Chains A and B, each alone.
Chain A
Amino acid sequence: MLNLQEGAGECNQAMAAVIETIGLSKTYRTGFWKRKKGKALESLTLSVEEGEVFGFLGPNGAGKTTTLKLLMRIIRPTSGEASILGYSIGHPHVYSQVGYLPEQPYFYDYLTAEELLSYLGRLSGVPSKHLASRVTDLLKRAGLFEARSLQLRKFSKGMLQRIGLAQAVINDPKVLFLDEPFSGLDPIGRRELREMIQQLNRQGVTIFFSSHILSDLESLCNRYAILHQGRLLDSGKLEEALDRESQTIEVVAGGVRKEEALCLEDLVQDMTQIGDRVRFLVPREAGLTRIVETVERAGGKILTIHPVRPSLEEVFFRRIRVPSAAPSAISSAGMSGS
């Protein structure tokens, strides 16, 4: 879908789709006789390419976790197909190259951190001879080496999130799925996680993560998809989308005074004097010719012209058609972060 939208089908052929879903749907049946149907996900078609950090956003209940669970075989699709690294998700061996951090991960609380990592490492197919060093390395990187012999029941939420991430990467995955990885983390933890994701991505790991905290996505991902009520509303490259969505242009001129440009008041949205410069905010549809002429007539110079990008939050609210001021499903953390 993304490829088609961008009209770049043939030149992107070399780029392999790491994650691909075609018409993936999940319908839950509820009620005593399982007659009531609830659509958790409706015909999701998307592809994620190698090396991307793919942000999957949407309000709570939009179907983000459902999608991840479908991809991780935790639930079975009602219809549709999905593949990871070119293999259908029905092949268990694909998952030796996949890492997954569930939402609010919970692990066997009777195990110690070290035991959990070696157990899950074995199940992930890490060769026995590398396992011990890999576990130690990960414990150190997650800052849990001191707590390695502590049973997980004594772990804090943040520690659980870190051990969760450590187990997700134990097999050096090519693709990493993270479900709401930022929730429950303090600011320091969030920054650490951002850095870690960026580092993994630099090493070539494709990352697919869901979040409702838009600021996290904006600073990390290069592709995004918006999901709302089980439907895919929009997806694309983040940069392009933000540019495309820009509705105002910022023009900064030097050597002019605000008073000299008052004749432009009907055209511009805003005019501000900053030192010897004036900053004009112009709606996109209005031409810039009059501004340029006016400035030049006054003996000034145009210094910069660039579109004012909306925040991802604005894009998001436009997509789901909820006024940004109104209370919505988006968490307050998401609001304040942008």
Chain B
Amino acid sequence: MKVLWIAGNTFRENIRDKVLYNLVTVAFLLVGGALLLGELSIGYEMKIIIDIGMASVSLTGVLIAVFIGISLVQKEIEKRTIYNIVSKPVSRHQFLLGKFLGLLFTLAVNVSLMVMAIFAALIYLNGRWDWSFLNILPATLLIFMELVLVTALSLFFSSFSTPVLSAVFTLSLWVAGHFNNDFLSFAKLSKSPVAEFTCRLLYYLLPNFSNFDSNAAPTAIQQAGYLQTPEPVVLLAAFAYGSLYTVLLLAAAAGIFERRDFK
């Protein structure tokens, strides 16, 4: 229960934080731009809207997850507000989990609002609602799962590193995690067993963000431009992967956080 109160307060903080609004504004601008682009191009308006919309959801989400994520705990330590929390009957694990869930809630709201904006744009272009619009939801869920993992990464790094370094680490891993498959193909090509082992190790060790790519099957884009729904098994496995990796990172962060001194 206390975890939820902490989460609630974190959400409230995020909402009252102007940074969040700025990012949302950027996203709405992007979707607006997409509308304009849709007007200009011939044929693929809806596809372009979906592509730009999904890219906005993902990109702004990652920015929020990284930059709010690294300061979730850091800010409380720096401003000494954490003194009033840990001196209450609240364990540090609860605090950490609460902060994490609070940001997830913010991200969920953010993603939902943007999906609404995409729907609005699609209705505008199509002239009416079409149930096939809902096909973007699985892809959205995958993006959200990706954001959950990015948040966990930020929290993990910020549990022992400075905010700037945490941001660098998280963003690097996010980028590297999208090229993760290259490690596997390097491993297959490699002739030295050491190199092959290293490549394979890195492949399984680093968070594999390409698991959450909804356009991993590029042929799936249908004529109307709707993303094809990923296979249920793939969706499920990607979710399980993201959740387990997230719990892993949280456990590590909690272990480190437990031993920390707050200045």
Contacts and interface: CB of A to CB of B under 8 A. Distances in A.
Direct contact of A and B (CB under 8 A): yes
B17 to A, nearest CB: 7
B87 A95 contact: yes
SS class of chain A's interface: helix, strand, loop or mixed? mixed
Interface of A: 69, 72-76, 92-96, 98, 100, 102, 105-108, 110-111, 115, 119-120, 122-125, 167, 177
Interface residues of B, number: 25
Given A106-B80, A108-B81, A119-B9, A75 B262 contact: yes
B224 interface: no
B84 A102 contact: yes
A122 B87 CA distance: 13
Contact of B259 (A76, A98, A102, A122): A76
A120 B89 contact: no
A69 B91 CA distance: 15
Given A75-B261, A119-B5, 16 more contacts: A72-B87, A73-B86, A74-B262, A75-B262, A92-B90, A94-B89, A95-B89, A100-B83, A108-B81, A111-B9, A115-B12, A119-B9, A120-B84, A120-B88, A123-B5, A124-B88
25 contacts: A69-B262, A72-B86, A72-B87, A73-B86, A75-B261, A75-B262, A76-B260, A92-B89, A93-B89, A95-B87, A96-B88, A96-B89, A98-B87, A100-B83, A100-B84, A100-B87, A102-B83, A102-B84, A111-B12, A115-B12, A119-B5, A122-B5, A123-B88, A124-B89, A177-B87
Nearest to B78: A106
Contacts of A94: 89
Contacts of A75: 261-262
B9 A108 contact: yes
Interface in B1-29: 2, 5-6, 9, 12-13, 16-17
SS class of chain B's interface: helix, strand, loop or mixed? loop
Contacts of A73: 86-87
Contacts of B88: 95-96, 120, 123-125
A134 to B, nearest CB: 15
B89 A110 contact: no
B86 A106 contact: no
Interface string B201-212: 000000000000
Interface of B: 2, 5-6, 9, 12-13, 16-17, 79-91, 259-262
Closest 6 CB pairs of A and B: A75-B261, A72-B87, A100-B87, A96-B89, A95-B89, A123-B88
A149 B80 CA distance: 22
Contacts of B83: 69, 72, 74, 100, 102, 105
B86 A74 contact: yes
Contacts of A106: 79-81
A271 B82 CA distance: 59
A120 B83 CA distance: 11
A95 B84 CA distance: 11
Contacts of B262: 69, 74-75
Contacts of A92: 89-91
B261 A123 contact: no
A94 B13 CA distance: 28
B101 to A, nearest CB: 15
Contact of B13 (A72, A110, A123): A110
B81 A107 contact: yes
A74 B79 contact: no
B160 to A, nearest CB: 13
Contacts of B13: 108, 110
Contacts of A98: 87
A110 B86 contact: no
B255 to A, nearest CB: 13
B12 A110 contact: yes
Contacts of B5: 119, 122-123
A108 B81 CA distance: 7
Contacts of B260: 76
A107 B84 contact: yes
A28 to B, nearest CB: 8
Contact of B17 (A76, A93, A110, A177): A110
Contacts of B12: 110-111, 115
A123 B90 contact: yes
Given A73-B86, A75-B262, A110 B16 contact: yes
A74 B81 contact: no
A105 B87 CA distance: 13
Contact of A74 (B17, B259, B261): B261
Contacts of A93: 89
Contacts of A108: 9, 13, 81
A120 B79 CA distance: 16
B194 to A, nearest CB: 31
Nearest to A151: B16
Nearest to B1: A122
